[in-house]
Amino acid sequence: MKNKKMTKVLVGALLAGCVFGGWHYWQKDKLDPEYQKELDAIVKDRELSGSEIRKQRITEWYVNLQVPEKPPREKWDAVHQQPQIMFTMKMPKYGDLYTMNMNGTDVRLLVTQKELGGWVEVHGPSRPMRSPDGRYVTLTYRSRMFSYDCALYDLKTQEVTALGSGRCVSYHWMPDSRSVYFMNAELQRYDVVTKQLENVRPKANSELGDVSYSEHAGSYFISLEQDRLVQALSRKLKEKTPDEGTSILFRLSDMAYLGRKNYYDEACEAGQSYSLDRRSFTCANRRGPMNYYHIDAPAQVAGQSPQRWIIQEGKWFLSEEMRLITRYRQSDEDCPLSALNYYYQVAENSPGQGELIGGFSLYLPLHLREGFNQRDWRPFFPPLPTTVQYQESLQRQLKQLKEYGRG
């Protein structure tokens, strides 16, 4: 389906206390003209194209971003009412890092490529990660072709701290935002107060027996609630000692060795994909419906997830390519669509108009974390069309086609 305008998403709908933003999109039994245009295009694509594939796939809905010529700077302690999406785009300045509300409103500037000395990388495990308090952003940037460095950016002081050369991946911020763990050749920890960067290693290698930490420790898993660092062992060692556990465990706070254990599903030993609130995860490199697990019970299946990157269990997801947000129909919604994909594009009257935004990294503000899975984000988005509205559009278009054929 070609790119189309989406009816404006107004946060004011929520502030006015309206259920699911409905008043803005239909009043007195009449749909907003732009909403109706979008719905008609969806119905035409699904029902009248003659393609079963189009009918079965998740439908697209385009979110238009209003991007100022000079977007305002993000304040590190700003109080947001929605999860935030970090992203880059070609205009106004390629390589700068921006942030916006999850519904595509209020675009702000986080850091410029001029400040960093390179272009921010926003994809895969090296995508930016913001600290829980919102003050710091850890990221990888490209200073020149095939040359990468990682850094920490302080939104309060606008200072850049180098964290090393190469790509840094899998950032884990501590809840107090004082320190961050990440992988750069090996596991490291940076303390923002003491400004100390250190390698994270066991207190005593002698305790590990036949395990060589530098040779056998692979992908890592951190449980902040349980103060645990879990690292998968190499296949060679697992095959040599199959009965002794597939992972090695440490107490994260002091790296004391706790032994070997089958800590999680074998499929997760190659890595994990964490939910936005970091309380659940899926196994990395999986596609399609898959199991997901809770951090406090990593070996026990918590349920089925339709996608790998969970924003909110059973409701909202980040796509595999990290280019769009998927919303799934809830039990209280009367809609013939089982899900909706939100594509984000720059509006026609903004710099870089028509550009599709891709490569997302999400940030959940600290005050939104409590009870996150029970929060309802639907009021910030257009409501899903009802079955009656969908059928009205279909029948009207069928009638128009019939009348056109007569003419």
Q: What is the DSSP string of 5-69?
A: ------THHHHTT-GGGHHHHEETTEE-HHHHHHHHHHHHHHHSS--HHHHHSPEEEEEEE---S
Whether the predicted pLDDT of 281 surpasses 90:
yes
Count of C-beta atoms within a 10 Å radius of residue 303: 11
Q: What count of residues does the chain have?
A: 407
Q: Please state the pTM of the whole predicted model.
A: 0.88
Whether the predicted pLDDT of 21 surpasses 60:
no
- The pLDDT tens digits for 79-110 are 999 999 999 887 656 789 999 999 999 999 99
- The pLDDT tens digits for 175-233 are 999 999 999 988 999 999 999 999 998 877 667 777 777 777 777 888 887 899 998 88
pLDDT for the residue numbered 13: 34
Residue-averaged pLDDT of the chain: 86
342 closest CA partner among 366, 290, 377, 304: 377
- The pLDDT tens digits for 394-407 are 999 999 998 887 65
- Kind and range of the H or E run holding 235: helix 235-240
Distant-in-sequence, close-in-space partners of 23: CB < 8 Å, separation ≥ 6: 13, 16
Q: Which of 133-142, 153-162, 266-275, 357-366 is predicted least confidently?
A: 266-275
- At 326, is the secondary structure helix, strand, or coil? strand
Mean pLDDT for 59-80 is: 93
Asked if 325 and 377 count as a contact pair (C-beta separation under 8 A), the reply is no
- At 88, is the secondary structure helix, strand, or coil? coil
pLDDT for the residue numbered 316: 98
